[in-house]
Amino acid sequence: MTNDLYAVVGNPISHSKSPRIHSLFASETGEPVEYTAIQAPRDDFAGTVKQFFERGGKGLNVTVPFKEEAWKLADRRTERAENAGAANTLYLDGDGVLVADNTDGCGIVRDLLINHGVTLNAARILVLGAGGAVRGVLGPILAEHPGAITIANRTVAKAEALVELFTPVAGETRLSACGFEQPSEPFDLIINGTSASLQGDLPPLSPKVIAEKTVVYDMMYSLQTTTFNRWALEQGAQIVHDGLGMLVEQAAESFRIWRGVSPATGPVIDELRND
């Protein structure tokens, strides 16, 4: 039996852990899946996608910088992709229609709830950043009914725009926007969705946002403690997590969409942690 072909598309792509994660899922589940990495030219994402599916490819993951383009390219979007304004998963439905989904939000929620036992219901959450990464996860986080979400960003207008966008699906959750310096009370959960650490920066937060029980979650992932989590530990945080679990969980949800089988994620997270 020949394997079904899947791939992750990005630029650059050589660092991507997706081929390794999906190969581990394939071995674990026995699904006949072959998963590669494709570097698309920055000006021809659409052509790369078209060629992949014409060659019989079954599904794509999409990463930086093409997630918004993937969203635009699709003929149909799931509700969570619609809210996210970006797509990380593409496939053709039975009629050959290109469908876009976004599994990032599902990934962070499962990592928090299942892998780390963090309660989101009624929680007071501080979200740092208001770019694509944050927009991608707000819908699924809101679906867990937190008490309040404060979105803090360097450019406050972008945080305000997200509050406006998500208010219709926020239900009882109080949504607010501010700059980084403003919050001065402890939160139950702080999620860093900024890319500040890529420039060697930290969001200029008050240490008062951290209490002993505050859970700190950096959507970034690195083999060492991330820059943001190091800062949080220095301020007295006791519980910090990075985004490795989110990475594996979002991949597992894509795998489930494509194959109808949910792989176990724990062994894969452990394996990557030991790389």
Tell me: does residue 20 bind ligand ATR (CB under 6 A).
Answer: no
In the list 3, 51, 155, 184, the residue contacting ligand ATR (rule: CB under 6 A) is 155
219 annotated binding-site participant? yes
Question: Residue of minimal CB distance from ligand ATR?
Answer: 131
Find, among 96, 101, 166, the residue nearest to 130 by Cα.
166
Q: Is 90 helix (H, G, I), strand (E, B) or coil?
A: strand
| 16 annotated binding-site participant | yes
Does residue number 139 form part of the binding site for ligand ATR (CB under 6 A)? no
Give yes or no for residue 153 binding ligand ATR (CB under 6 A).
yes
End-to-end CA separation in angstroms for the chain: 31
User: Is 105 among the residues that bind ligand ATR (CB under 6 A)?
Assistant: no
Q: Does 79 bind ligand ATR (CB under 6 A)?
A: no
Residue 112: φ, ψ to 5°: -65, -50
Other beta carbons less than 10 A from residue 255's beta carbon = 28
Q: Is 67 a catalytic residue?
A: yes
φ, ψ for residue 82, nearest 5 deg: -55, -50
Q: How far apart are CA 11 and CA 66, in angstroms?
A: 8
Alpha helices (runs of H) in 179-243, residue ranges in sequence order: 227-234
Residue from 75, 181, 201, 270 in contact with ligand ATR (CB under 6 A): 201
Q: Has 79 been labeled as part of a binding site?
A: yes
Note whether 163 binds ligand ATR by CB under 6 A: no
* Cα angle: 210, vertex 145, 238; to 5 degrees: 20
**One residue of 196, 232, 244, 272 binding ligand ATR per CB under 6 A:** 196
Which residues are tagged catalytic? Answer: 67
- Residues forming contacts to ligand ATR in the complex (CB under 6 A) are 129-133, 153-155, 158, 194-196, 199, 201, 203
